[in-house]
Amino acid sequence: MNLENLIIENVGIALEKLYNQTVDAKLIQVQSTRKDFEGDYTLVVFPFLKISKKNPEQTATEIGMFLKENVSEISDFNIVKGFLNLSISNEYWLNFFTQNAANSNFGAAQVDENSPKVMVEYSSPNTNKPLHLGHIRNNLLGFSVSQILKAAGKNVVMVNLVNDRGIHICKSMLAWQKFGNLSTPTSSGKKGDHLVGEYYVKFDIEYKKQISELTAQGLTEEQAKKEAPILLEAQEMLRKWEAKDIEIYNLWKEMNSWVYDGFEKTYKKLGVYFDKMYYESETYLLGKQNVIEGLKNGVLIQKDDSSIWADLTADGLDEKILLRSDGTSVYMTQDIGTAILRHNEFNANEMTYVVGNEQDYHFKVLSLVLQKLGYDWGKKLHHLSYGMVELPEGKMKSREGTVVDADDLIDEMIETARKTSQELGKLDGLSLEEAEKVYYTIAMGALKYFILKVDPRKNMTFNPNESIDFNGNTGPFIQYTYARIQSILRKASEMNIAIQNEFKVLNINKKEIDLIKYLHRLPETIQEAAANYSPALIANFVYELVKEFNQFYHEFSILKEEDEMVRSFRLSLSKSIAYAIKNCMNLLGIAVPERM
């Protein structure tokens, strides 16, 4: 049993003995004591005043006395206002440490085939343009949340859904046909996703041009947007694609393959991967089929122009189109198909979609439509709705060219890391190749930590020029602490100092106890991060742990400590903390260097 539950249980007993009343366990609030107060756990006594019929101090004193006498783990208590602060004995902490010090994987739960199954969809790129900063947040979040769920005891399947069909792809294809002069990644020397993205931009330029020409001829803007010839051509191309026109289909395959090559490189640099890939082109027909069936069963409606809709007005939402009047599919159509396919394949206890909060409405609708179609599990879909990434000057806008490209950003980060490391002369002893690896590790550590330390649900600001720091609450700061511990451990082993894990008699100091308390919190932190789908909680935890360790490191000597038992203990403590740092960072998808 963990300490918190132990306390809750005994508070229950105390209330019964002292005031002859049983209390709903929910009223017993135990939280860890705030840093500026003495103690480890705090009981809020306000809820019990009605029962005790005494003032807060008296009530807290009585409960505190009872606990101190009857619970061996509780060594002392103090009272501030209505808060009863309980101290846990040093014996307990030391005993906890000796039992777990050697466990390099402390904090992570075991997973086997009986563990609950969770599917996490993330990334979900469109194949008409390269990845940008927003996708980076998505990929980092999806990967990290998956690792956290695994550590919390879930069986995780990471999947990607590639939006490889639809009108947006046709726009790139059409522009390539018109303006591309048969250029390919090989002939142009460009990364495939970037090349295809250029034609998506070219389409838009031409489209705008045609709109202004049409409005000059007297059409309204609305009409012009609908009737621009290049748009009509793209729509025609989509119809041909759905009819599997051979020429269109081959072009589509080829251009997508360029994009996939490009994506693969970016994914690799980001360090993310997937257990299974889904392609919209392979699922939209299943969606279409279900929509048509839904129409037959009367749960969907058809309008005069033969487009098919879901009427969700009874649920407080609007009507939603599911098939266009020309019979082609929309985004929702394939998402219905994909969900059904996945449910049939994996029957996961939970399906989580890592998708930006601009699609909150979409996922509400998806869940409802699935239920309407008779899929009860539709209500179990979970949308991990993350906030958008903004630049200091505002939203990224592709039309204004302010989109931060993922590949460029990563390269810039590596360049910065290289420069900083070389200025500090940190890696002079390493080979060029080894040094490059460290630059990369630090660069990605900075980038990933910077993005993951903020609450996923919130919008965040990203300043590419200044924001990524190497000092303070940053990835490299944490990596540095890890590297420093490794340095000590290397020295210890050169000095042939054995690290023991038994510490019977020991005059342990407060910083050491505090560090052990941090380690003790790791398992619950992982559980909490999983429950909230929040890598930020892991980031905050490891940052505080590292800060605490750096204070300890500064204040006390490890290798120069003369008492052998104490020296050995401090080495063991440092080693355990290094494990914790590494594991937490891995949960964020961040690697740690042995030196930097």
Binding segment toward RNA, per CB under 7 A, in 186-194, 248-256, 317-325, 504-512: 317-325
Kind of pairing between the strands at 155-162 and 276-279: parallel
Q: Which residues contact 565 (CB under 8 A, 6 or more apart)?
A: 503, 505, 506
Pick one of 16, 326, 502, 564: the residue that binds RNA (CB under 7 A). Answer: 326
Question: Of 189, 316, 401, 429, which lies in the binding site for RNA, with binding defined by CB under 7 A?
Answer: 316
Interface with RNA: number of residues (CB under 7 A): 96
Mask of contacts with RNA, 477-506, x by CB under 7 A? x--x--xx-xxx--x---------------
End-to-end CA distance of the chain: 40
Which residues, numbered 253-312, are part of the site for RNA (CB under 7 A)?
280, 303, 305, 307
Q: Which of 10, 59, 126, 160 binds RNA (CB under 7 A)?
A: 126
- Would you call 465 exposed, middle or buried from its count of C-beta atoms within 10 A (0-12, 13-18, 19+)? exposed
Strand partners, 158: 120
- What is the number of residues in the chain? 596
Where does residue 299 fall: left (phi above 0), alpha (psi -120 to 50 degrees), or beta otherwise? Answer: alpha
User: Does 551 engage in binding with RNA (CB under 7 A)?
Assistant: yes
**Per CB under 7 A, does 223 bind RNA?**
no
Left if phi > 0, otherwise alpha if psi is -120 to 50, otherwise beta: which for 425? left
CB count in 10 Å sphere of residue 551: 13
Q: Per CB under 7 A, which region of 191-199, 253-261, 321-329, 510-518 contacts RNA?
A: 321-329
In the bound complex, what is the minimum distance in angstroms from residue 343's beta carbon to RNA? 21
d(CA 573, CA 553): 11
Residue 155 or 441: which CB sits closer to RNA? Answer: 441
Contact 413, 447 (CB under 8 A): yes
When the beta carbons of 33 and 155 are compared against RNA, the nearer one is 33
Contact set for RNA, span 18-37 (CB under 7 A): 29, 31-34, 36-37
The CB-of-479 to RNA minimum distance in angstroms stands at: 8
Q: At closest approach, how far in Å is the CB of 379 from RNA?
A: 18
Reading the block at residue 534, the tokens are 């929040």
Asked if 213 touches RNA (CB under 7 A), the answer is no
> 359, 371, 500, 527: which one contacts RNA (CB under 7 A)?
359
Q: For residues 329-358, which are near RNA according to CB under 7 A?
A: 330-331, 357-358
Question: 126 or 155: whose CB is closer to RNA?
Answer: 126
- For residues 512 and 521, the answer to whether their CB atoms sit within 8 Å is no
Segment interacting with RNA (CB under 7 A) among 63-71, 162-170, 256-264, 373-381: 162-170
How many CA atoms lie within 13 Å of 194's alpha carbon, on the beta-carbon side? 14
CB 508, min distance to RNA, A: 16
**In this structure, are residues 84 and 496 in contact, taking their beta carbons and an 8 Å threshold?**
no
Single out the segment in contact with RNA by CB under 7 A; choices: 42-50, 91-99, 199-207, 210-218: 42-50
The one-letter code for the residue type at 295 is L
| Residue number with CB closer to RNA (374 or 458) | 458
Among 196, 368, 526, 558, indicate the residue that binds RNA (CB under 7 A): 558
137 binds RNA (CB under 7 A): no
Task: Look at the block and give the residue holding tokens 């392609």.
Answer: 279
Least distance (Å) between residue 162 CB and RNA: 10
Among 6, 13, 23, 47, binds RNA (CB under 7 A): 47
- Residue 196 Rama label (left phi>0; alpha psi -120 to 50; beta): alpha
When asked if residue 595 is in the footprint of RNA (CB under 7 A), the reply is yes
Q: Are strands 389-390 and 460-461 parallel, antiparallel or unpaired?
A: parallel
Residue 72, SS3? Answer: coil
Separation between Cα atoms, residue 196 and residue 202, nearest integer Å = 10
